[in-house]
Structure 1
Amino acid sequence: MPSPTASVAGAADWPEVAALRTRVFVEEQGVPAEIEQDDADATAVHVLSRDASAQVVATGRLLLDGPVARIGRMAADVAVRGRGHGAAVLAELHRQAAARGAEVVELHAQLPARRFYEREGYTAVGEVYEEAGIAHVTMRRGLP
């Protein structure tokens, strides 16, 4: 089986991206629907990964703020967790950030995902805090 890949989402992909985020954040994790999507979605770079049947199974978004890029809304369908789709999305987000001149990427990691991000070169910065009712920690890494 080939390794998962990721690509930048186009406007036509948005319904599938939004549906995945709703399944993961709203239905699975209990994030209020009214805060899951926000105005930043309109300007963010969205990245997705598809499974063998061409369904969107992982996604994340990139927001640019000068030399610091912010990654967020990382979501993987429960059926594919641990199979490389999230790592493929993250790698593509890193490529997109670097191509746009970012030097550092930052994200708010849910605590159960902390080790995933540490394996990808991130370091925790600061204390644990609550966001949308879920424990998070801010993490950062440099870009090559």
Structure 2
Amino acid sequence: MPSYTLEVGDDDAVGDEARQVRRSVFIDEQGVSESEEMDDKDGAATHLLLSDGDRPVATARYRFVDETTVKIERVAVLSQYRGEGLGIRIMEAAEAAARDDGAMEAVLHGQRRVEEFYTGIGYEIVSDEFEEAGIPHVEMRKELA
């Protein structure tokens, strides 16, 4: 059984490795355009990275959208590592780090195909369906305090 390591840092610390996972999941697997996926928000975000040895396998990022609310984004787990609980682990780590940074609420845009994952960890749908990067999404919220 793999022993995963978690890193939390800014774009300089773990951004390149996080983008490797995002490229594999969002661009290669889901067909999101590179210009949409590789946006200008990485520099303002806190990145989380789970690695299996020296291989990045899961990531997420968050950034403050107001004084007490973070937006969790770019949550991705490599396909061969799904089903091992890494999505829950990266989300719990993102929520804990955001809470430590002073966040009281998290918002995210969840893909409809995985909304059950997010509702299962306490997020509530707060919008009608909308399209982002050609994929149906809903906005979701969770109190962190």
TM-score of the superposition, structure 1-length normalised? 0.91
Q: Does the 8 Å CA contact 2:61/2:75 hold for their aligned counterparts?
A: yes
Counterpart position of 2:60 = 60
Q: 1:102 to 1:124 in 2, by over 3 A?
A: same
Coordinate RMSD, CA, aligned: 1.6
TM-score of the superposition, structure 2-length normalised? 0.91
User: How many matched pairs?
Assistant: 143
1:16-55 equivalent positions in 2, closer than 5 A: 16-51=17-52, 53-55=53-55
Which secondary structure does the structure 2 equivalent of 1:48 belong to? strand
Counterpart position of 1:94 = 95
In 2, the alpha carbon distance for the partners of 1:5 and 1:116 equals 22
Counterpart position of 1:109 = 110
Unaligned runs of at least 5 residues, structure 1: none
The alignment-based identity, stated in percent, is 38
In 1, the alpha carbon distance for the partners of 2:62 and 2:112 equals 20
The alpha carbon displacement at 1:6 in A equals 3.0
The alpha carbon displacement at 1:58 in A equals 0.4
Which consecutive aligned stretches of 4+ in structure 1 deviate over 6 angstroms post-superposition? none
Q: Does the 8 Å CA contact 2:17/2:49 hold for their aligned counterparts?
A: no
In 1, the alpha carbon distance for the partners of 2:6 and 2:92 equals 8
Deviation digits for residues 46-101 of structure 1, max 9, x if unmatched?
001112x3311000000112111100001110001121111111111101111111
Unaligned runs of at least 5 residues, structure 2: none
In 2, the alpha carbon distance for the partners of 1:113 and 1:58 equals 16
Comparing 105-114 with 3-12, which one deviates more in the overlay? 3-12
Which secondary structure does the structure 2 equivalent of 1:31 belong to? coil
Counterpart position of 1:75 = 76
